[in-house]
Amino acid sequence: MPTLATFARALRDLDRDRRTLLWVALAYAVSGGLHALVFLVDGGAWTGDVSWRKPIVFGFSGAVTTASLAWALGAVRADPARRRWVDVYVTAMTLEIALITVQRWRGVASHFNTDTLFDAVVFQAMGGLILTASVPIVRWAVAVTRDRTLELERRVAVGGGLWLLVVGLAIGIVIAPLGSAARALADADLIAAARGLVPAHAIALHGIQLMAFLSFVLPRRIDRPALRVLWLGRAIVATLALTILAAAVGVMS
C-alpha cells in the first residue's frame, strides 16, 4: 500500500516545475476546503452571484487542473522556457482565484460585476489573468503535439488533454464578454446564454483529468498500444461532442 513516505519520495523525484504545480494545487485545494467550512458555518445560498460556492468551486477546480498540468508536463521537455511559463501560469491562476475570493469576502459578485469602478477593474483583471494563464497551456499543447520523440499513445493522451483544456478556457473567455454585454444591456436572454455555456466550459476544462485517468487505466486493461490509442481518441471525440451538445443546449434553453 502507498504510504505518505512513498508519496514524499515520489514528489522529490519530480523536477522543480512539476513539484511547484503540485504544491500550488495543494494550496488551492486547502483554500477550497477552508471556504467549504466557512460555508457550513456562515450558510447562505449555494447558487447566485454572491455565494461561497465561488471560492469553493474555483479552489477545487484550480487544484485538479493544476495537478493535471503537473502530469502533462512530464511530456514537455524541461528547459528554462518551461520554468518561466510555469511561473506565468502559477502567478496568473493564483491571482485569479485570489480576486474571486476577495470579492466574495467583500460580499459582492466576482463575475460580470461592473457596479463600481473597483468591481469593474477586478472583473477586467480576471479576464486578463485567464488569458495570461492560457498562454502557457497552449504552448505546452503545441509542444506535445509536435514532439515526434514521444510515443504516439503519450502524445495523444497528454496532447489531447491539453487541447481539451484549451477548449474549456476558450469557452470561458467567450462567456466573460458575453456576460458583461448581457449585464450592460440588461438582456435576460443574453444572461441566460452566458450562464448556459458554463456546463460546456466545465466539461472541456476537466477533460484533461479523463485523459490522465485513461492513461493510467488503459495500459492495465489493454495490451495492444494501437488499441489504447484508439480508445484515447474516442475519449477525446466524445468529450468534444459532449461539450458541443452542452453548449447548444445551454444557449438554446
Q: What average pLDDT is seen over the chain?
A: 91
pLDDT at 200 over 80: yes
pLDDT at 3: 55
- What proportion of the chain, given as a percentage, has pLDDT over 90? 74
Could you tell me the CA-to-CA distances from 185 to 122, 189, 191, 193, 226 in Å, in that order?
20, 10, 10, 14, 52
CA geometry: angle 143, 146, 147, nearest 5 deg = 80
pLDDT at 252: 82
pLDDT at 182: 66
Separation CA 206–CA 200 (nearest Å): 10
* Mean local confidence (pLDDT), 82-103: 97
pLDDT at 7: 53
CA nearest to 89, candidates 13, 169, 12: 169
What is the per-residue pLDDT across 4-61, written as a single tens digit (0 to 9) for each? Answer: 555 566 667 789 999 999 999 999 999 999 999 999 999 888 988 899 999 999 999 9
pLDDT at 10: 61
pLDDT at 28: 97
The better pLDDT of the pair 116, 237 is held by: 237
Separation CA 81–CA 241 (nearest Å): 34
What is the per-residue pLDDT across 148-188, written as a single tens digit (0 to 9) for each? Answer: 999 999 999 999 999 999 999 999 888 877 777 766 666 67
pLDDT at 245 over 90: yes
In the numeric block, which cell numbers belong to residue 68? 493535471
